[in-house]
């Protein structure tokens, strides 16, 4: 059975991302209508066109703007055509241009105009040390425009996604990327390195499992300094599944006696305490309710399901009564998202995501078709990252929970083993 769960955890994979396509869009009222214009005199039109598309995608995904499909190009140094834009009912006009410096850095220059007031309201330049990081200039531009109109925060757009990819037999690398995976960078390579997890909100340190030692070993790595630390090892498996709010304790799935259980590991004292001990397989622990409880997946009823247990107590409560096969869980405060097979057929390829809460009995289906896995909450809990596979074609998805919108980014490249946000 432990081998079954390892296969379940490791084998559900997909491939990496580019270009946004819309699955569901509901336009709301009272959103400023914005158009993005590219400089006709720029010598960096290829990269600039990619930045423009990314800004448009970000503004759409924010849910706070109505992005016009009006094709607009003009000289960056000139003023916008206020009459034409007013007749098109445009509220905001963003003009962009770019310069590649001799040292290889790239600078994006932006001007935001209020068409109704006929004046420039925001001017900012953004620089990245290498041109391949252009996507972050787009994210930063969208975030600052969003902040300028005092719309609900979309700061999560500039956070890194952390993931592992297979690179041949018994080999997997750990990567970081932006939330669309248009930009990716390898940070751990050599051997089998899987199940990466951010260790802190600063996103400068990670946990990951490596099979490069005699036993599966949980590592801690500062991705900037390269400093490494062995946290613990275990026969069978060892995986960090969650980090508490204070960043001083982690939940670890380990099998020191051959049976997978969940442990609470104290990073300060370097001690671990066993949380589950039912005798069946318990994996994927997630902190919930201000770190007082954990949600986890267990086969103690014969099939994988989601349970909740208060830390320090032995009583366990079944949390999900939908379906008989609920194979993964992720949490944010009292929010719980789980993946559920919506068919009794054990060979069914339909796994949908559901949103629940420890504070109510409400249950909301978030996806409607395909295999939807690896759900992860954004830093503010308002968005959800996940992987969708339909007919062997995979997408990286973003669900805007409060807006009932889902965006998909078609994936290209090597297969993804695990992902964190």
Q: Give the tens place of pLDDT for each residue, 8-45.
A: 444 434 444 444 444 433 334 589 999 999 999 888 88
Q: What is the pLDDT of residue 213?
A: 95
Give DSSP secondary structure letters for 116-149.
Answer: TTTEEEEEEEEEESSGGGHHHHHHHHHHHHHHHT
Residue 413's pLDDT band, with cuts at 50, 70 and 90, is: confident
pLDDT tens, position by position, 242-283: 999 999 999 999 998 888 999 999 999 999 999 998 878 899
E strand or H helix that includes residue 373? strand 371-377
Instruction: Please state the pTM of the whole predicted model.
Output: 0.88
- Residue 183: both structure tokens together: 């930009």
Percent of the chain topping pLDDT 70: 92
Q: How far apart (Å, rounded) are the C-alpha atoms in residues 184 and 163?
A: 10
B/e letters for 226-259, b = 16+ CB within 10 Å, e = fewer, are: eeeeebbbbebbbbbbbbeeeeebbbbbbbbeeb
Span of 76-85, 156-165, 334-343 with lowest mean pLDDT? 334-343
Residue 114 has pLDDT above 90, yes or no: yes
Closest C-alpha among 65, 69, 64, 95 to residue 82? 95
Share in percent of the chain as helix, strand, coil (round to 5):
15, 45, 40
Q: Which residue has the tokens 């060979």?
A: 347
Q: How far apart (Å, rounded) are the C-alpha atoms in residues 284 and 305?
A: 11
pLDDT tens, position by position, 64-111: 999 998 888 889 999 999 999 999 999 999 999 999 988 989 999 999
Phi, psi of 111 (to 5 degrees): -135, 130
Q: Which residues contact 344 (CB under 8 A, 6 or more apart)?
A: 324
Average pLDDT, the chain: 90
- Residue 394: both structure tokens together: 């995979």
Residue 112 has pLDDT above 90, yes or no: yes
Q: What is the pLDDT of residue 120?
A: 97
Q: What is the pLDDT of residue 278?
A: 83
Q: Is 109 exposed, middle or buried (0-12, 13-18, 19+ CB in 10 A)?
A: middle
Q: Say which residue, 32 or 393, is predicted with more confidence.
A: 32
Q: Compute the average pLDDT of residues 166-182.
A: 93
Closest C-alpha among 247, 299, 253, 297 to residue 268? 247
Phi, psi of 191 (to 5 degrees): 85, -160
CA distances from 362 to 196, 208, 267 (A): 31, 34, 35
């Amino acid at each position: 059975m432990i081998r079954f769960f390892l296969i379940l955890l490791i084998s559900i994979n997909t491939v990496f991302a580019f270009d946004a396509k819309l699955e569901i869009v509901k336009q709301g009222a009272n959103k400023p209508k914005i158009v993005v214009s590219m400089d006709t005199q720029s010598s960096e039109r290829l990269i600039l066109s990619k930045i423009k598309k990314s800004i448009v995608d970000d503004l759409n995904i924010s849910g706070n703007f109505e992005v016009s499909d009006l094709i607009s190009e003009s000289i960056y140094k000139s003023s916008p055509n206020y009459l034409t834009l007013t007749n098109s009912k445009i509220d905001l006009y963003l003009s962009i241009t770019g310069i590649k410096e001799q040292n290889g850095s790239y600078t994006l220059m932006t001007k935001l105009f209020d068409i109704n007031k006929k004046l420039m309201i925001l001017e900012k330049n953004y620089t990245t040390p290498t041109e391949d990081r252009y996507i972050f200039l787009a994210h930063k531009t969208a975030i600052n425009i969003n902040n300028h109109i005092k719309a609900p925060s979309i700061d999560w757009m500039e956070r890194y996604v952390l993931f592992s990819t297979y690179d041949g037999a018994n080999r997997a690398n750990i990567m970081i990327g932006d939330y669309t995976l248009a930009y990716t960078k390898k940070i751990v390579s050599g051997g089998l390195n899987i199940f990466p997890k951010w260790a802190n909100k600063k996103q400068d340190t990670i946990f990951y499992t490596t099979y490069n030692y005699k036993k599966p070993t949980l590592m801690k790595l500062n991705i900037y300094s390269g400093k490494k630390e062995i946290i613990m090892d275990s026969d069978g498996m060892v995986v960090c599944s969650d980090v508490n709010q204070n960043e001083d304790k982690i939940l670890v799935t380990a099998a020191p006696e051959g049976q997978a259980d969940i442990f609470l590991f104290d990073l300060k004292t370097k001690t671990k305490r066993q949380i589950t001990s039912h005798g069946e397989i318990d994996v994927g622990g997630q902190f919930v309710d201000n770190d007082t409880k954990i949600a986890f997946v267990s086969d103690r009823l014969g099939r994988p399901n989601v349970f909740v247990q208060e830390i320090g107590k032995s009583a366990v409560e079944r949390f999900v009564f939908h379906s008989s096969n609920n194979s993964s869980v992720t949490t944010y405060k009292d929010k719980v998202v789980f993946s559920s097979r919506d068919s009794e057929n054990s060979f069914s390829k339909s796994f949908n995501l559901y949103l629940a809460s420890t504070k109510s009995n409400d249950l909301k289906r978030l996806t409607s078709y395909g295999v939807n896995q690896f759900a992860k909450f954004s830093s503010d809990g308002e968005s959800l990252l996940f992987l969708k596979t339909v007919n062997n074609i995979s997408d990286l998805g973003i669900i805007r929970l409060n807006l009932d919108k889902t965006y998909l980014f078609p994936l290209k490249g090597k297969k993804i083993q695990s992902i964190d946000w």
